[in-house]
Structure 1
């Protein structure tokens, strides 16, 4: 039952969250400070009714600026351009097609199109365009003044708070270009940035992650994999090891024998290939050579093979016998 529930959740878009509790609280505190500042400034220069409409749109921007401050959708140009361009589109649609039943849909659709070409996709921008169309006479009377007050005013306030608040935390500095990155991320050997760029182009879909962040993630993953490579002392009888190679080169070996080390000679390991290239084969080599070949220990799971510790791999092999 739990397995089916997990599959359903994943199909609906649920996924594991690697952020700490402290990071979640910081995001919430930042949004509180930003929306509080927006509320105060908006009520200072505008009627209460207008302020209510604007804060509803700006609240969506706060989610991006403080929950995912390094995402492409959260950067200053995305916030500034996305909000103002969408507001302009919404105002224009309402003035040209006032009270038409399709005006709200047209405003949002054209706002998305304009943000795409201006390279400033910001989801709350669609809400801003829709807000103006549906707001009623009080907002409609502002006309293109709506661009300056309240939209530009609120964008300026929330961006200022985002820069100041996130500057308190080195790993969250905003904009993303100010985030502390001690080393220029480089991709793993054999994989160049041009390859990653080509893969992203082939997907032909907007990916909400910066190119540099993607390279850094891959570099950190490569470093972690290198640190997890088993030492000769971690080669255990019964455990399974993968060479971690792509495509037809992938192979998994299970250690079936570790004969006593003869005097003056290197320790030997006997293995059988249980998956991938040369499956069903047998062989022997030095333990140090097997450790150099192996990238990590694995165990079987319902989705294939899963990385684990050598001890877990040996235990899983015993249980499956």
Structure 2
């Protein structure tokens, strides 16, 4: 097994979720992609479906592997894909050189998603696909945004809501989530920082992938204790 320092440098997750959590993530992601393959293949029979499904496959990892992450919520998923698709189609039409068009599409999509608070990494793949996805996608023009991109994104979100709803600790989006029972209160004084064991126990009690490092959690606690109500 890697040493703690090596795990930190490699970014290996400290906490493993339960077998049930892994199973739900696996089956949920697979079912979602099965549905999207059917939709995209019907919409793009000439072969463009593969390129579209690629970006949605990345979304399924977030929606079913990290359902409570900020990048997995409905607004980032739907708006991130659609805005990126609009930018991708626009760049494909306005820039004749495909490589430059693809680079501009991805870069502008990132900037737009940041500005509109809908950062969703697979959106970059959607912007790229609009430029480099082949003739079947280019022929759709801006219709590509509504179908299959918007349709696929909405279907993905609805499937995430339905599949995760059966598991209270996984309910999606975050507004539907029922938190897991809190662990026993720490016996440490209020002014004592959390220990490594405290942080690990707190994360493990969630039984869900948490997209934040131990160092970031410690730093947040320090900020709250030093400057409550203020940002760093």
The bucket for the TM-score relative to the shorter chain is 0.7 to 0.9
User: Superposed, which structure 2 residues align to 1:47-126 within 5 Å?
Assistant: 47=45, 49-126=47-124
Per-residue CA shift, 1:113-158, capped at 9, x if unaligned? 1001111110000010011111122211111011011101111211
Question: Which residue number in structure 1 is paired with residue 126 of structure 2?
Answer: 128
Question: C-alpha separation between the residues in 1 aligned to 2:164 and 2:180?
Answer: 18
Aligned Cα RMSD in Å? 2.2
Rg comparison, structure with higher value: 1
**Contact 2:37/2:53 (8 A) holds in 1:** yes
Per-residue CA shift, 1:63-98, capped at 9, x if unaligned? 000011111101111101000001111111111112
**Cα separation, partners in 2 of 1:115 and 1:19, compared to 1, 3 Å:** same
**Cα separation, partners in 2 of 1:171 and 1:182, compared to 1, 3 Å:** closer
Question: C-alpha separation between the residues in 2 aligned to 1:128 and 1:100?
Answer: 15
Question: C-alpha separation between the residues in 2 aligned to 1:136 and 1:47?
Answer: 12
Q: Which has the higher strand share?
A: 1
1 or 2 for the larger relative contact order (CA 8 Å, sep ≥6)?
A: 2
Question: C-alpha separation between the residues in 1 aligned to 2:167 and 2:62?
Answer: 17
Per-residue CA shift, 1:224-273, capped at 9, x if unaligned? 413xx6xxxxxxxxxxxxx68459xxxxxxxxxxxxxxxxxxxxxxxxxx
Question: C-alpha separation between the residues in 2 aligned to 1:76 and 1:24?
Answer: 22
Q: Greater shift after overlay, 20-29 or 45-54?
A: 45-54
Match of 1:179 among 165, 173, 177: 177
Question: C-alpha separation between the residues in 1 aligned to 2:64 and 2:180?
Answer: 23
1:12 and 2:43 matched: no
Displacement, 1:27? 0.3
**Size of the alignment, in residue pairs?**
193
Question: C-alpha separation between the residues in 2 aligned to 1:2 and 1:174?
Answer: 34
1:30 and 2:28 matched: yes
Q: Which has the higher helix share?
A: 2
**Cα separation, partners in 2 of 1:7 and 1:172, compared to 1, 3 Å:** same
Displacement, 1:160? 1.4
TM-score, normalised with respect to structure 2:
0.76
Where do 5+ consecutive residues of structure 1 fail to align?
184-219, 230-242, 248-321
Question: C-alpha separation between the residues in 2 aligned to 1:132 and 1:43?
Answer: 16
**Contact 2:80/2:119 (8 A) holds in 1:** yes
Question: C-alpha separation between the residues in 2 aligned to 1:156 and 1:100?
Answer: 29
Question: Which residue number in structure 2 is paired with residue 267 of structure 1?
Answer: none
Displacement, 1:45? 3.2
Question: Which residue number in structure 2 is paired with residue 311 of structure 1?
Answer: none
